[in-house]
Amino acid sequence: MWARAPRNPTVDAHRRSLEEHWITAYTGIVEQGQAAGEFRRGVHGHDFAIRLAAMIDGLGKSLVLGDPWMTRARMLQICAGMIAAELVPAT
C-alpha cells in the first residue's frame, strides 16, 4: 500500500480513509478517558493519536516483514509503554 499509494489515487484514498479512521478512534478514546479522569489532562488527543498510529505503523512493518528484533509481544509492550508514559495520570 505504501509503495502504491503515491502512484494510485484509489489506493491512496483507501490509505487515507484507514488512517483517518484509526486516528479518529484513538483521539476519541483519549478524550473520553480524559473526561472520565482516567487519562492525564494536557495531552492533546489528536497529536497523541498521530504519534500512536505512526508507532503502530512503524513497528507493525517490522513485525510483518519478519525483522528479528520485533515480535508481537515486543510491539505490544512498546506501545503499552508509550501509552502509559503519556496518558497515565501521575499518582
DSSP letters of 48-71? HHHHHHHHHHHHHHHHHTT-TT--
Computed over every residue of the chain, the mean pLDDT equals 94
In the predicted model, is pLDDT for residue 1 greater than 80? no
Virtual torsion, Cα 21, 27, 31, 32, nearest 10 deg: 40
Residue matched to cell numbers 473520553: 32
Q: Where are the domains of the chain?
A: 5-87
Grade residue 90 by pLDDT with cuts at 50, 70 and 90.
confident
Provide the pLDDT confidence category of residue 53 given band limits of 50, 70 and 90: very high
6 has pLDDT over 80: yes
Distance CA 29, CA 38 (A): 11
